[in-house]
């Protein structure tokens, strides 16, 4: 029953096909950008998304904030959110 409901909700597409559809729709909107970085065996390592508004904000305030999130990957099952910030002076 659960499998049938999931099939109806997601269709028969693979995760990769659904992701491609989502990214193509996202990039189809004016000013939006997406990049997919893969490793040597074509396994996705990083996916970046920028809306038109995000690009405007970055142009106005060129500091960079990196946020990485993991879930249930440590022994204590804590959510980890490391932050790294670079300003226009490289600090």
pLDDT tens profile 8-39? 666 778 888 888 999 999 999 999 999 999 99
Q: What is the pLDDT of residues 35-83, one digit of tens each?
A: 999 999 988 888 888 999 988 888 887 777 776 666 666 677 666 667 6
| Residue 91, in any domain of the structure | no
Q: What is the pLDDT of residue 16?
A: 85
Tokens of 74: 């440590």
Q: Residue 8 falls within a domain, yes or no? A: yes
**What is the domain count for the chain?**
1
Let me know if residue 82 belongs to a domain. Answer: yes
Alpha helices in 11-51 (DSSP H): 15-27
How would DSSP label each residue in 42-64?
--EEEEEEE-HHHHHHHHHS--E
Full-model pTM:
0.57
Other C-beta atoms closer than 10 Å to the C-beta of 18 total 12
Range of the domain at 9: 2-86
């Amino acid at each position: 029953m659960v499998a049938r409901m999931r099939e109806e909700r997601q269709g028969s597409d693979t995760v990769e096909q659904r992701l491609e559809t989502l990214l193509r729709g996202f990039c189809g909107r004016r000013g939006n950008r997406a990049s997919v970085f893969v490793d040597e065996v074509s396994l996705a390592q990083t996916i970046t998304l920028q809306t038109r508004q995000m690009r405007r904000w970055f142009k106005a305030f060129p500091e960079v904030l990196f946020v990485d999130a993991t879930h249930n990957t440590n022994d204590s099952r804590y959510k980890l959110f490391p932050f790294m910030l670079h300003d226009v002076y490289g600090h």
